[in-house]
Structures are given as C-alpha cells and as structure tokens.
C-alpha cells in the first residue's frame, strides 16, 4: 500500500479517503436533553463582540431584521412583515449557544430531529444528518399545528467547533402553510444560503469593528421554486454595522441591536417565537 502522497503502482488500487460514519438519528431526547444529561451548559450568545464563527443569514427582498423579537435567546431574526395574507409572519430565527463542558458532537446532533418531532401534529417532509460545512448537523422539514394554524418549517442544528470550544447554531425558517408556495423563493434562498464557518475556514480572520462582510448571493437549490430576486445576504457577526445599504447593494452586517430597516410596516403581525431549539 503506498504511503500518503505517493502514486499507486500499476495494478494497485488507490487508498480511499476516510469517510465519516453515518449518524443514526435518536428517537427520544432533544439536543438540550442530551446536553443536560452530560452536564454541558449552553450559554446564549449575542452578536455584540461575537467572533468565534462567521454566520451568514441571507435576507431576501421585503425581509427585514426584527429589532425586538419575541424569541428566547435570539441571535438574529428576520421576517417578511410586508407581504403575505396570513396572520402568521414568515420569519427566520438564529440562536447560538456556547457549549461549556465535554460532549460528543456527533452523538449530540443525533438528537436534532426530536424537538421538531415533538411539535403538535408534526409531519416530516424531509430530513438529513449530513455534515454542514464540515460540522455535524441535522436538518428536518415538515409541518405542525400552532394556534389553529398549520405551519411549514425547516430547522437546522449545527455543532461547530471554534478552537477548543463548541457552539450550537440553530436556524429555523417558518411560514404559514398557506404562504409556503408564495414564500418559497425567499425561504429557499435563506435555507440554501445559510452558512456557518470558522473565521479561518471562511478565508479571513475575524473582522474588525466597523468592517462589513459581503457574501455572494446563493442560488436556491430547489428546482421547483422560482428564483428569488438577487439580494446580498447579511453576515451576522460581532461588530456595529454601517447604515442600511440600498437594494441590490451588499447588505450591512446586522447591528448589535438588530436595527429595523426604515420603512418597514410597524403594524404588521408580530413574529411568533418558534419553540426554543432543543429545549
């Protein structure tokens, strides 16, 4: 067998790269239950001063940051508070926890489906335990009932390592089922453009205060949905942002206060809190 870097001799098969073992989804116990059982303390993070990870949350047209979301431990929340004809406001929520204590990330993420499966009248439409950006991850999509409404949601958990520390990053994107088709270009753009990376993996060191990080727009992967109008994603880091950029220009980083975009409709329905990830 040839050593690493050597070309196999004639008739000799190349050595296959190691493949991460498949994760078997747990059927009971949420990620939070697993962490509690291991004595791991989740510490909620805020955008101010956060530089352990680069987190990118695409912001489609009409969607704006929500400055005071009714979301426990919110790191960032955006919503379409202008369009739609449902009493439920389509929204995307990100929460980030630093995990203090020893854990097996793959074992922890195996519990990533359970919190969604515990929702009222939950029905799964898609699910995967594939890695996300090289990190252990779970993503599950489906519908559930809340306040006499059927909601359509996609929920991803990622356990990302930054140095010697682990972070749980969770994204939920939720719409009323009646709005799911109309909102598909926007929600697909968010789901497919969401990114979690360490600063070195992202190709640069943590940005300094006042610097903005622009990321190329992502193309939604779902062929059945029409493409959303191009708009630059929003990077969610650790420093104050410049004033809101005009449409089609690179969007600024979300500010520590998650300032609203001028002109958003204040009278729109409030953003409902999704169940806290893995509680």
Give the model's pLDDT for residue 85. Answer: 80
Dihedral sign for Cα 13, 17, 18, 23, please. Answer: negative
Token pair belonging to 153: 């949601």
**First-to-last CA distance in the chain?**
49
Which structural domain range is residue 141 located in? Answer: 42-204+232-236
Q: Is residue 33 part of a domain?
A: no
| Least confident among 20-29, 57-66, 128-137, 154-163 | 20-29
Q: Look at residue 98 and tell me whether its pLDDT is greater than 90.
A: yes
Q: Look at residue 5 and tell me whether its pLDDT is greater than 90.
A: no
Q: Is residue 124 part of a domain?
A: yes
Residue 20 or residue 41, greater confidence: 41
Q: Look at residue 120 and tell me whether its pLDDT is greater than 70.
A: yes
Q: Which pLDDT band holds residue 7 (cuts at 50, 70, 90)?
A: low
Tell me the whole-structure pTM to 2 decimals.
0.72
Give the model's pLDDT for residue 209. Answer: 28
Give the model's pLDDT for residue 74. Answer: 96
User: Per-residue pLDDT tens for 142-170?
Assistant: 999 999 999 999 999 999 999 999 999 99
- Which CATH number goes with the domain that contains 85? 3.40.1000.10
Q: Is residue 49 part of a domain?
A: yes
Helix (H) or strand (E) run with residue 32 in it: helix 31-37
User: Per-residue pLDDT tens for 239-276?
Assistant: 333 333 333 333 333 433 233 333 233 333 445 555 44
Q: Among the ranges 60-74, 158-172, 211-225, 258-272, which has the highest mean pLDDT value?
A: 158-172
List all residues 6 or more positions away from 23 whose beta carbon is below 8 Å from its beta carbon. Answer: 106, 109, 110, 129, 136, 138
Q: Is residue 152 part of a domain?
A: yes
| Interatomic CA distance for residues 86 and 84, integer angstroms | 6
Cβ contact 78:57 at 8 Å: yes
Q: Name the domain count of the chain.
A: 1
Q: Which pLDDT band holds residue 14 (cuts at 50, 70, 90)?
A: low
Q: Is residue 89 part of a domain?
A: yes
Dihedral sign for Cα 98, 220, 89, 253, please. Answer: positive
| Least confident among 54-63, 172-181, 246-255 | 246-255
Residue 186 or residue 210, greater confidence: 186
Residue 194 or residue 278, greater confidence: 194
Give the model's pLDDT for residue 223. Answer: 34
Token pair belonging to 214: 């622009």
As a whole number, mean pLDDT of residues 175-184 equals 96
């Amino acid at each position: 067998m040839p050593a690493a870097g050597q070309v196999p001799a004639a008739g000799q098969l190349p050595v296959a790269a190691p493949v991460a073992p498949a994760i078997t989804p747990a059927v009971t116990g949420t990620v939070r239950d697993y962490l509690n059982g291991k004595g791991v303390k989740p510490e909620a993070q805020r955008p101010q001063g956060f530089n352990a990870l680069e987190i990118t949350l695409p912001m489609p047209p009409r969607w704006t940051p929500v400055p005071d979301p009714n979301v426990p431990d919110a790191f960032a929340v955006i919503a379409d508070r202008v369009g739609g004809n449902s009493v439920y406001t389509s929204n995307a929520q990100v929460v980030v926890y630093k995990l203090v204590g020893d854990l097996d990330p793959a074992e922890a993420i195996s519990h990533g489906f359970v919190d969604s499966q515990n929702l009222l009248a939950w029905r799964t439409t898609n699910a995967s335990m594939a890695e996300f950006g090289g990190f252990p991850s779970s993503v599950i999509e489906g519908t559930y009932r809340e306040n006499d409404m059927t909601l359509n949601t996609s929920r991803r958990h990622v356990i990302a390592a930054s140095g010697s520390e682990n972070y749980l990053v969770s994204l939920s994107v939720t719409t009323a089922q009646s709005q799911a088709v109309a909102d598909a270009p926007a929600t697909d753009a968010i789901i497919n453009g969401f990114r979690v990376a360490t600063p070195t993996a992202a190709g640069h060191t943590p940005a300094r205060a006042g610097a903005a990080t622009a990321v190329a727009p992502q193309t939604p992967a779902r062929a059945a949905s029409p493409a959303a109008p191009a708009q630059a994603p929003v990077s969610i880091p650790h420093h104050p942002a410049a004033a809101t950029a005009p449409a089609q220009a690179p969007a600024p980083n979300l500010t520590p206060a998650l300032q609203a975009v001028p002109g958003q409709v204040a009278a729109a329905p409030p953003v409902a809190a999704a169940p806290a990830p893995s509680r």
